[in-house]
């Protein structure tokens, strides 16, 4: 017989706090699943051999894990640290930051209007097709000048005015842009097709809220524009574009050259 408690899905990224460390692994309390304790086996901590587990994990430490096994009947959840990619970790951290920002905005609005935050949050979520992350997206649109009334038609006007003010203070959209140039050459009848594949797959590296645009400057030179939340992230994405193009072109006998100023 299964428990009535919620349990994560296979492959899901979860945030958890380490509660107990043993020689064979550690037990982790999952933030979004109260009452569910997961196990990370020592073999799932690092790609390298772990000599001393306590060099990697400590009680009270929080981290992002991937669910690798789930047994709903026993409520047993096994998780991994080593299977979380760098990109997955960054996207999950961004998601957490957005959730924290939404909670801060709702709490501040509630305090300034005499509402209870636990009452106000459901009212706002009622107008959202999704969850807290989608609510953050609406807050971003409000920060850019759109009326809160458009998104929350059933919320009190006084609350919406305060909400707009708080959103304006808390969300200031920043966008970093970096530019690069590539020389792409691939001889033969499939040359154009290979270059097109390199461009399409490289542009697909952008996560939600980011963009990668590759345009021909003049054959065989291509300009790469990358937009992201921070300069560091934009530079990292540009490096990933160079790597992806290099892999695809090399596999087809083509050549990639990164142009420098």
Taking only the tens place, the pLDDT of each residue in 55-87 is 999 999 999 999 999 998 888 999 999 999 988
**252 with 198: CB under 8 angstroms?**
no
- In the chain, list all ranges with CATH 3.30.70.1130: 176-259
Residues of each domain in the chain carrying CATH 1.10.150: 87-170
What CATH number labels 176-259? 3.30.70.1130
Residue 1 has pLDDT above 70, yes or no: no
4-8, 22-26, 44-48, 152-156: range with lowest mean pLDDT: 4-8
- Position 145 scores a pLDDT of 84
Element (H, E) at 27: strand 25-30
Evaluated on CA atoms 246, 250, 254, 260, the torsion sign reads positive
The pLDDT confidence band at residue 3, using thresholds 50, 70 and 90, is low
List where CATH 2.40.50.140 sits in the chain.
13-83
121 DSSP 8-state letter: H
- Interval 89-99 mean pLDDT: 91
Q: Euclidean distance between the first and final Cα of the chain, in Å?
A: 66
pTM over the 0.85 mark? no
pLDDT digits (tens, 9 = 90+) for 161-197: 999 999 988 987 667 899 999 999 998 888 999 999 9
User: Mean pLDDT for the chain?
Assistant: 91
87-170 classified as CATH 1.10.10: no
Q: Are 5 and 75 in contact (CB under 8 A)?
A: yes
Give 13-83's CATH code, choosing from 2.40.50.140, 3.90.1150.10, 2.40.420.20, 2.30.42.10.
Answer: 2.40.50.140
């Amino acid at each position: 017989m299964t428990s009535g408690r919620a349990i994560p899905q296979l492959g899901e990224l979860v945030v958890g706090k380490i509660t107990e460390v043993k020689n064979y692994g550690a037990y982790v309390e999952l933030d979004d699943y109260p009452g569910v304790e997961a196990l990370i086996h020592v073999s799932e901590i690092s790609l390298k051999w772990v000599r001393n587990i306590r060099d990697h994990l400590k009680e009270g430490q929080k981290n992002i894990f991937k669910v690798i096994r789930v047994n709903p009947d026993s409520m047993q959840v096994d998780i991994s640290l080593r299977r979380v990619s760098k990109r997955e970790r960054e996207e999950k951290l961004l998601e957490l930051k957005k959730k924290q920002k939404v909670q801060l905005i709702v709490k501040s609005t509630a305090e300034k209007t005499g509402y209870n935050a636990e009452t106000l949050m459901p009212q706002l979520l009622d107008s959202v097709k999704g969850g807290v992350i989608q609510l953050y997206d609406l807050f971003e649109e409000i920060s850019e000048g759109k009326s809160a009334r458009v998104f929350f038609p059933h919320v009190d006007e006084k609350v919406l005015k305060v909400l707009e003010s708080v959103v304006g203070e808390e969300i200031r959209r920043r966008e970093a842009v970096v530019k690069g140039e590539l020389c792409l050459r691939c001889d033969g009848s499939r040359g154009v097709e290979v270059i097109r594949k390199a461009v399409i797959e490289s542009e697909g590296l952008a996560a939600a809220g980011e963009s990668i645009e590759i345009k021909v400057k003049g054959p065989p030179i291509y300009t790469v524009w990358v937009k992201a939340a921070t300069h560091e992230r934009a530079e990292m994405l540009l490096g990933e574009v160079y790597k992806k193009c290099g892999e695809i072109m090399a596999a087809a006998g083509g050549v990639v050259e990164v142009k420098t100023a």
